Amino acid sequence: MGSLAARWQAAMMNNYGTPPLALVRGHGAEVWDEDGRRYLDLLGGIAVNALGHAHPAVVEAVSRQIATLGHTSNLYITEPPLALAERLLELLGRPGRVLFCNSGAEANEAAFKMARRTGRPNIIAAEEAFHGRTMGALALTGQQSKRTPFEPLTPGVSHVPYGDVAALAAAVDADTAAVFLEPIMGEAGAVTPPEGYLRAAREITAARGALLVLDEVQTGIGRTGAWFAHQRAGVQPDVVTLAKGLGGGLPIGACVGFGAAAELLEPGQHGTTFGGNPVCAAAALAVLDTIAAEGLLEHVALLGKGITTGVEELGHPLVRGVDGAGLLIAILLTEPVAAAVMEQAREVGILINNAVPDRVRLAPPLVLTEAQAREFLAALPGILDGATP
């Protein structure tokens, strides 16, 4: 055990267990551990480090802003979060209103409160969906193992099978305040719904006067090769929640409302001390600028296709398919050995994630290079052989 792991065990709460690796620095899609060993980072801080590690645009924006005005609270206007809200609305393509917070769970908490403000009692979300671990977000989360230890949860939320239009249509009625959905279920292992599912969800919610809240915490900010995954699906939600890639490694989340949904929260009904902090907002602006300037959406779409095709063409007996979009990719396994695949990959210097027992997830920095993608594909057969039971 390395020296940092020993200190971790002594001082940190045990909710994460002790991580197997202590990282000390990063550059692009590479990180180095405390012994100086280099890893290819195909997880990017769980779909967070959109520009990779130590990107000069983020370093410059954060350094400049912290040296100018680091924090004021929301009792005062500062320019960076305002510019960021304007930019997000421009990218989302519609007028709306933005509330900043510090994480994905908080973005969904805000959306949950907006749903309550409709006056309707019920919320529908998807089985196996992940929306965060605070008590409201956990009530939305459809993974029983995460819910059970903390029951009773916030009432009024029920879950339907993801991707099942008939089940959704049967569940949504005049008492439904909102339907919460991920465009692709990230923590469930990059699960893509059947074609047309999000459009059907839009039609069903619109017909019954319920809000459609799309949780783009994991799929937003270029991850799937579009600015936002719902744009690929051609739907217009009432609310979009964002975090992860938005700050490129700094903690910032956003809840964006459109139309009547944008007006649901009134003065005094919600707030956060740090939300929209100018330093995090400056980082987010640098992320958005760089994605646009470097053509990263096209890069993500192309590289994602290349990796997907490369994995499929291996024809390895442990692989039964590939799921996801852009650089949110799941390798589907014929056996529940995702943890072994993750460990084998780490052994050869590649970081990936065992999202669920039979799905390995990749969510690398959007700046991953073609050469790095090839490095992964070249190593994959050996990794899979090593994990084969």
Structure tokens at 139: 């009530």
Q: Residue length, the chain?
A: 389
* Site track 36-55 with ligand PLP (rule: CB under 6 A), x = hit: ----------x---------
Decide whether 96 or 186 has the Cβ nearer to ligand PLP: 186
Structure tokens at 192: 């893509």
Structure tokens at 309: 């095709």
Q: CA-CA distance, 210 to 138, in Å (whole number)?
A: 21
243 binding ligand PLP? (CB under 6 A): yes
Decide whether 240 or 279 has the Cβ nearer to ligand PLP: 240
Q: Which residues of 205-229 are buried (b: 16+ CB within 10 A; e: fewer)?
A: beeeebbbbbbbbbbbbbbbbbbbb
Position of tokens 């056996």?
335
Decide whether 216 or 238 has the Cβ nearer to ligand PLP: 216
Decide whether 138 or 265 has the Cβ nearer to ligand PLP: 138
Identify the active-site residue in 215, 238, 258, 376: 215
Q: Assess whether 244 carries a catalytic annotation.
A: yes
Asked whether 40 and 349 are in contact (CB, 8 A), the reply is yes
Considering only the stretches 98-106, 192-200, 329-337, 366-374, report the one whose residues sit in contact with ligand PLP under the rule CB under 6 A: 98-106
Size of the site for ligand PLP (CB under 6 A): 15
Using the rule CB under 6 A, which residue among 44, 45, 96, 104 binds ligand PLP? 104
Decide whether 316 or 361 has the Cβ nearer to ligand PLP: 361
Q: Which residue is nearest to ligand PLP (CB)?
A: 104
187 binding ligand PLP? (CB under 6 A): yes
Q: What is the DSSP string of 183-241?
A: SSBTTTTSBPPPTTHHHHHHHHHHHHT-EEEEE-TTTTTTTTSSSSHHHHHT---SEEE
131 binding ligand PLP? (CB under 6 A): yes
Cis peptide, bond prior to residue 152, ω within 30 of zero: yes
Q: CA-CA distance, 272 to 221, in Å (whole number)?
A: 23
109 binding ligand PLP? (CB under 6 A): no
Identify the active-site residue in 244, 258, 323, 376: 244
Q: CA-CA distance, 125 to 135, in Å (whole number)?
A: 15
Decide whether 215 or 323 has the Cβ nearer to ligand PLP: 215
Considering only the stretches 179-187, 195-203, 225-233, 380-388, report the one whose residues sit in contact with ligand PLP under the rule CB under 6 A: 179-187
Beta bridge partners of 181: 214
CB of 134 to ligand PLP, least distance (A): 7
State the CB neighbour count (10 A cutoff) for residue 387.
20
Residues 156-175 close enough to bind ligand PLP by CB under 6 A:
none
DSSP 113: H
Using the rule CB under 6 A, which residue among 39, 112, 130, 228 binds ligand PLP? 130
Residues 205-234 close enough to bind ligand PLP by CB under 6 A:
215, 217-218
Asked whether 123 and 156 are in contact (CB, 8 A), the reply is yes
Q: Assess whether 130 carries a catalytic annotation.
A: yes
Binding site for ligand PLP (CB under 6 A): 46, 103-105, 108, 130-132, 182, 186-187, 215, 217-218, 243
So which residues are the catalytic ones? 130, 215, 244
